[in-house]
Structure 1
Amino acid sequence: MTTSKYEESIKELGSQDDTKKLKALRFIKNSVIGNKTKKELYIKLGVVQRLVEYLSCPDNGSYQLKIQAATILGSIAYGKDENVSAVVTSGAVTPLLNTLSLPRDKPIMESIQERRKLLEATTRALKAIFASSRTLKCDTFSKKHIEDLVLILEATSNFLGHEPQGNVSSEGLSFAMIAEFTAAIIAKCCDTQIQQSQLEEAGVIQPLINLLHSGCIKAQEASLDAIATLCRENKELGETIINSKSLNTDQITTNTMLDFVKDKCPNMRLIAATCLTNLYRTGVFSEPFNEIILIVLPALVKLLQDPTDDVQERAPLVLADLIKDSEEMQKAAFDADAISRLSELLASVSSKDSEEETYPQLGVPGLGSVTKRKEKIKENSLIAIAAATLLKEECRTQAIEARVLPHVISGLTSRQPNVRLAACQCAKSLSRSVSHLRTSLVDAGIAPPLIKLLHDDSLVIQAAACGALCNLVLDFSPMKKCVIEAGAITRFVEYSQSDDTNLQLNGLWALKNQLFRADLQAKKAVMDVLTYDALIELLHEPNPTIQEQALEIVRNLVYGKQEDTDWVIEGIGKDDLLDVLESKLQVTSAMGLEDEVLPVTLVPALYIVVNMSSNAEAPKMALMSRSNIVNSVIHHLSHEDSSVRVTAVWCIINWTWASTDDNQEDLITRCRRLRDLGIEERLLAMKKDSSRDVCDRATTALEQLNDVLAGPSSN
């Protein structure tokens, strides 16, 4: 390709004649708009740095040059992420933001009218730049830049609010675009609570709400998008938003959003649903399961079938966000047939053609190859199904009946890492079903691809595959044998020693599940690889979640027959095991809040005591020989967490019970000691506990204690 005329235009940019420079800029602009090849060519020719120099010049005599420079930068940035990186690396962002600064020696609207062409070009360029994930936002904005953005938004939104709808002037159209682009910039730059607070303090909320009533669809969409991001995981801001009203219409913001949920435009409906979902997630609505969300959820399900723009790509993620962690919302999704619709969406984008195509990089969100869009829809749909099937069995059954499993298996073998990750999450949710674990999941052959992913290039995917396999190694799973035979024990042990906390946690979880109700032979097979020395180190990890899983492993090891318990005591060492239990259970007066014993470690530690005390007398007497252990168990009978209280009562039940009549002397000794420590009064008080389970267990323990102490040989 001949490049002489393009190289000539670059040379002209260095001319002393502004007319020649302007002519060259217009040629470059016309060359790059809509032409990926020319954009890459001009980047190689060094045009970006020259454009940045133009933007940094004083205003005198360079106004038209700046407009053309900003327009070209925006066109170059609107495309591949590599183009955006070239623009950002050249230092273009700060000069672009600086052009938004308006003189304060005249009315603000007059300043905007004089500079509206430059503001339009600049905000368009910044919108394209900040749409890319490659652009770092944290250090970009100074307080002055934020104030400039909000000032422009406030002025343009007020202007549009007073413009007659349906009869927009050319000036009004330009202001609408400036408002749209400014709101879009804000939407991409308030991911953290610090950024959200900075924008709120600058007064951004009211202009955004006013813009919702402007009558300009694109500006309304951008405003909704900004509001959705501002209130994400920020309850304080969420409350401010739902209590706000438009200055012109006096309409409550949530009602406005509900109107948009019913809008004819699918993109508008989706963004409004996103806003309300983010508000719902903050907990600002008075009822957790309310009328507003009952309108939003069916709207999202309907959008799954709408092929407009990138709605199908984004709707599953919004749905997933709405229903995750809530049984009520997952039940509502079940009633709305959301899982079937997601399965249909997966089927519509699954084909051999899409698997065999190449995978170019995705640039601006919503753009890219057809294949890349299909893969994104697969990823997001699998994430939504994982969320929908996490907590309720009926939802998992609906997913199986909707033929989701073939798509999950396909996703596990996808060439796209994000699709593999989403498929692992989906497999994990579905594997929580005991009935389907024994039937549908076995028939679908879900174990082999998950095992293969334990060696994936991505540690995140390895951890997710391990998390999904956790349920496949439980005692009742028919896939347990094939997972073990594939060498999973060694892999899980490797993960348990990983520096990656998520990988380490999932590895320990898998080992714990593998040991659940396992026989002694299976336990020995695991410990031959893990070793007791490594287990003891894990028991003293600073991270309480790691400690919890290590304690759960010991709990499962000492569960079962007496020979199991004896083998563990021998392996760890009796004194070392008692030292561990003492350290995990003991509460001292010197403990501060940061040292407080947490329920996550207390419950498994107490269950170790329960399991050790379930058979022979020797382990019971060994535990009772440690005053700190006994006193700690009694102390935890009044713990604020009912799961801790009920486990502590189980310790008392096992200590006041003998396996055979030959153990009466030891039994009486234990019961007398417990009585001397005031256990009777504690158990009597616990019969009025708020937890029925605690009441029942306390009654059992008290009856056993009284029966022993009332016996003929106990006086």
Structure 2
Amino acid sequence: MADTAAASGAEHSNYVAQLGSSDPEEVYGALRTIKNSVIGSSTKKALYMRLDVVAAVSAVLTSAQTSVASRIQATAIVGSLARSRSAGAAAAGGLAARGVVAALVRQLSAGTDARLVEASERALHALLAHSETLAAGGGAEDALVAQVLGIIGGGAGGDSQAGARAVIRLELAVLIVARLCVSEARQYMVANTGVIDALVRQLGRSPAHVRLQAATLQALAALSYENAEICAALAEVGGGGGGGGVAAAAVRLARADDALVRLHACRVAANLSRMRALAAGDVQAVVVPALVRLVRAPAAAAAAGAGAAGADVGADVGVEAVQALGYVCHEDADVQAAARAAGAIDALVGRLAAAWAAAQGDFGDAARFAREARAAFLALGTVVSTNEESRRAAVDAGAFAHIVRALGHGDAGVRAAACLCARYIVRSVAICRTHAADAGLLRPLVGLLRDASSDVQATAAATLVNLLSDFSPLRADALRLGLLPTLAALLDAAAPAVRRNALWAVRNLLVNVDDATRAAVVEAVGMARLLALSEGADAAMREHAVGALRNVAADSAAGCDAVFAARGPAATLALLAALAARPDAPADRAVLVHALYLANNIVVRSDAHRAAVAAHVPLVQAVVAHVASRAPEVAVAALWCVSSVAAGGAGDAGGGAGLRLLRRLGVAQVLARLLADPALPLEVQDRVKGCMDYFGGAEPGPDAASA
């Protein structure tokens, strides 16, 4: 058998070698044999890729001496290789780098053999499914756009055989437009050709042309994705066959019988909705239910008439519907509620169950499962991200079982997506206290902090942020699993997201802890490191570091002493002054609030700390400067600090120095002005009244609290 395999390999190698022959007939024969071998066979595609067929076929297509018959065969090979699930991206990149895209575009020119034109269009459509193609295409897309625009602008019609072929060619041209729109720059490049008007005209075609209608919607979806300007232009374009413009056409076609038409109409509508170019009512009443139906059972509808490829078409429709559902629900609580009402949560969990079952079968496709699972976890996480009822529904539907199973999957994308889904579900305090502990989430999540993928590490750490809160029963278990040294090590990780989320977890771990746990965290992480991070350039790291310091000092004299001991009193007070003096700007407001509460927590722990702060004029000035902040959270934090500094009477270690300094800085007058402001927020007003007690001439009493 080994001899037979070797002979077979040598035979295939000979065919590749013959592509360099000077005999046109020999080249044609080898191309025809290779084409017949690779079409429909992933094994043969992989074999010929190893034999460097990409270079050989590229040489044939870029040669001016190659006959039309050989070009047709070579072009078919290109399309087949590009459609390979395992090697398509590598083949596309290699072919494009060798000038094949430009060669295929030249084969579209007027007067070219009709069979070669059709083969070239199909090959280009397959190649352009891979981002590697345009990255290495050598600028051939400009010529390609001109070619396909001519086809689209010319239109097609009639029921004759020639008319049917023209419709097929038009469909391929429209799909190529969709493939080209892979970035904002390319969206504008395509839109500036005037293709939008030509595409919109196609929406009014007869329902008999459903494939062309679906392709047109796919192109419009690709053109408008995350592009506010193009979405606005589409909203203003009239026509679409049903009146009311593209938005109305997308909503109307979201009810179409054909699954592909419904899918891509929903994608267009989702893009317009995200860019505020479509009425919210249409999205909630029509688009979301249509997507949920596609998520539930796409295969039968999409596979109708698709022959052997039906299952693939149905699966692709389902995954794209899941992705579109997640996209349209992103950061929109009303749309998420509509998705829940339409049954999206059960549909997504059901899709995960079906994907697991299919993956365990004799013909399980690992790559397809990974794509399905990633999409479903991400969409489910999005749908439940803002609503407590939705999170409970996900738990009741059995989401945790799928999440825990996926945390150990071999695909890093699946692990990361499962972590993200879990993160959104455990935002619920009730679920954290009950279901999360019972589901067995903790051990695999802690293990994923040491994952080889930085994306997985980052999402696992972000999920643990919620599980380490003071209300979670899993905090003590996490510490017993060796969480502390792992988090400390991640603060030096190469990936910024890993460092930020690890520090965020440390910060949560310090909320309402006993002194023994506080000391263990400080020892593992390092007080000097926290102080250094509070001065760093990374805004998120600054916020979490100052928040962690605030928690270290909260309700703990030992914690305050630890903050001072790391650098000494003078350097620590200078750092506090610098943090409190930060601008009251939205971008860094969280750091400022944490810094003010940190100063307050240090002041209230002892008279000695109060005296040290009261003697540090820059720090007190910085605090006073924020008393009248327009941001209520900043003003309240500053007012707490003012009342704590003022709380020491004439007999304390500061000798009333804090109160005297505050009087000299005009705090009493500022408080009076604030109290006279009828628009002052209630929470600020309450703190102003508390502070006024210290500036009325009477001996101040205790009014300080740790925060």
1:109-508 alignment to 2 at 5 Å? 112=110, 114=112, 116-132=114-130, 135-140=132-137, 142=139, 145-160=140-155, 163-164=157-158, 167=159, 169-215=160-206, 216-246=209-239, 252-285=245-278, 289-308=280-299, 309-310=314-315, 311-351=317-357, 354-355=359-360, 369-508=364-503
* TM-score of the pair, normalised by structure 2: 0.87
Residue 646 (structure 1) aligned with residue 643 (structure 2): no
Alpha-carbon distance in structure 2 between the residues aligned to 1:139 and 1:683:
65
Q: Deviations over 1:603-636 (max 9, x none)?
A: 2111212222334333233223222222222222
1:699 corresponds to which residue? 688
1:670 corresponds to which residue? 658
2:99 corresponds to which residue? 94
**Alignment check: 8 A CA contact 1:388 1:395 kept:** yes
Alpha-carbon distance in structure 2 between the residues aligned to 1:248 and 1:102:
34
Residues 258 and 417 of structure 1: CA distance in aligned 2, closer, same or farther (over 3 Å): same
**Which range moves more in the overlay, 470-479 or 92-101?**
92-101
2:674 corresponds to which residue? 686
- The offset of 1:316, in angstroms, is 2.1
Residue 574 (structure 1) aligned with residue 569 (structure 2): yes
What amino acid does structure 2 have at the position aligned with 1:132? H
**Alignment check: 8 A CA contact 1:357 1:371 kept:** no
Identity rate, percent = 26
Alpha-carbon distance in structure 2 between the residues aligned to 1:693 and 1:316:
44
Alpha-carbon distance in structure 1 between the residues aligned to 2:594 and 2:468:
20
Aligned residues: 677
1:108 corresponds to which residue? none
Q: Deviations over 1:240-279 (max 9, x none)?
A: 2222234888651111111221111222212221222222
- The offset of 1:556, in angstroms, is 0.1
Residues 345 and 37 of structure 1: CA distance in aligned 2, closer, same or farther (over 3 Å): closer
What amino acid does structure 2 have at the position aligned with 1:414? H
- The offset of 1:101, in angstroms, is 4.7
Secondary structure of the corresponding residue to residue 502 of structure 1: helix
2:302 corresponds to which residue? none
Secondary structure of the corresponding residue to residue 137 of structure 1: helix
Residues 711 and 415 of structure 1: CA distance in aligned 2, closer, same or farther (over 3 Å): closer
1:583 corresponds to which residue? 578
Alpha-carbon distance in structure 2 between the residues aligned to 1:12 and 1:497:
55
Residues 604 and 711 of structure 1: CA distance in aligned 2, closer, same or farther (over 3 Å): closer
Alpha-carbon distance in structure 2 between the residues aligned to 1:47 and 1:199:
33
1:365 corresponds to which residue? none
- The offset of 1:551, in angstroms, is 0.4
**Alignment check: 8 A CA contact 1:156 1:175 kept:** no
Residue number among 617, 633, 639 corresponding to 2:607 in the alignment: 617
Q: Deviations over 1:131-183 (max 9, x none)?
A: 235x25345352xx3443333333322333x514xx2x333333333333333
- The offset of 1:115, in angstroms, is 5.1
What amino acid does structure 1 have at the position aligned with 2:162? E
Structure 1 unaligned residues grouped into runs of 5+: 104-110, 359-368
- The offset of 1:426, in angstroms, is 1.6
What amino acid does structure 1 have at the position aligned with 2:290? A
Alpha-carbon distance in structure 2 between the residues aligned to 1:646 and 1:399:
38
Residues 357 and 616 of structure 1: CA distance in aligned 2, closer, same or farther (over 3 Å): farther
**Alignment check: 8 A CA contact 2:292 2:344 kept:** yes
**Which range moves more in the overlay, 511-520 or 423-432?**
423-432
- The offset of 1:647, in angstroms, is 2.0
1:533-552 alignment to 2 at 5 Å? 533-552=528-547
- The offset of 1:550, in angstroms, is 0.6
Residue number among 594, 602, 613 corresponding to 2:592 in the alignment: 602
Alpha-carbon distance in structure 2 between the residues aligned to 1:28 and 1:690:
79
Residues 290 and 620 of structure 1: CA distance in aligned 2, closer, same or farther (over 3 Å): farther
Alpha-carbon distance in structure 2 between the residues aligned to 1:616 and 1:249:
75
Alpha-carbon distance in structure 2 between the residues aligned to 1:468 and 1:140:
41
- The offset of 1:32, in angstroms, is 3.1
- The offset of 1:384, in angstroms, is 1.7
1:70 corresponds to which residue? 75
* TM-score of the pair, normalised by structure 1: 0.86
**Alignment check: 8 A CA contact 1:382 1:422 kept:** yes
- The offset of 1:432, in angstroms, is 1.4
Q: Once superposed, what is the RMSD of the aligned Cα atoms? A: 3.2
Secondary structure of the corresponding residue to residue 378 of structure 2: helix
Residues 505 and 40 of structure 1: CA distance in aligned 2, closer, same or farther (over 3 Å): closer
- The offset of 1:526, in angstroms, is 0.8
Alpha-carbon distance in structure 2 between the residues aligned to 1:248 and 1:299:
20
What amino acid does structure 2 have at the position aligned with 1:208? L
Q: Deviations over 1:562-600 (max 9, x none)?
A: 343234323442222212112222259xx9x9xx98213
Secondary structure of the corresponding residue to residue 410 of structure 2: coil
What amino acid does structure 1 have at the position aligned with 2:689? T
- The offset of 1:341, in angstroms, is 2.1
**Alignment check: 8 A CA contact 1:354 1:374 kept:** yes
- The offset of 1:370, in angstroms, is 4.0
What amino acid does structure 1 have at the position aligned with 2:167? A
Q: Deviations over 1:10-53 (max 9, x none)?
A: 56645556456445544443343223344344445554334323
**Which range moves more in the overlay, 221-230 or 688-697?**
688-697
Secondary structure of the corresponding residue to residue 188 of structure 1: helix
2:705 corresponds to which residue? none
**Alignment check: 8 A CA contact 1:496 1:504 kept:** yes
- The offset of 1:303, in angstroms, is 1.5
Residues 250 and 426 of structure 1: CA distance in aligned 2, closer, same or farther (over 3 Å): closer
Residue 32 (structure 1) aligned with residue 21 (structure 2): no
- The offset of 1:684, in angstroms, is 3.5
**Alignment check: 8 A CA contact 1:646 1:693 kept:** no
1:80 corresponds to which residue? 85
What amino acid does structure 2 have at the position aligned with 1:676? R
**Alignment check: 8 A CA contact 1:235 1:282 kept:** yes
- The offset of 1:87, in angstroms, is 5.0
- The offset of 1:676, in angstroms, is 2.7
Q: Deviations over 1:288-336 (max 9, x none)?
A: x433343211111221211411222232222222222222222222322
**Alignment check: 8 A CA contact 2:593 2:633 kept:** yes
**Alignment check: 8 A CA contact 2:359 2:369 kept:** yes
Residues 291 and 141 of structure 1: CA distance in aligned 2, closer, same or farther (over 3 Å): farther
**Alignment check: 8 A CA contact 2:102 2:137 kept:** no
**Which range moves more in the overlay, 475-484 or 147-156?**
147-156
Residues 293 and 172 of structure 1: CA distance in aligned 2, closer, same or farther (over 3 Å): farther
- The offset of 1:549, in angstroms, is 0.6
Residues 537 and 85 of structure 1: CA distance in aligned 2, closer, same or farther (over 3 Å): same
**Alignment check: 8 A CA contact 2:93 2:133 kept:** no
Alpha-carbon distance in structure 1 between the residues aligned to 2:32 and 2:665:
91
Residues 100 and 90 of structure 1: CA distance in aligned 2, closer, same or farther (over 3 Å): closer
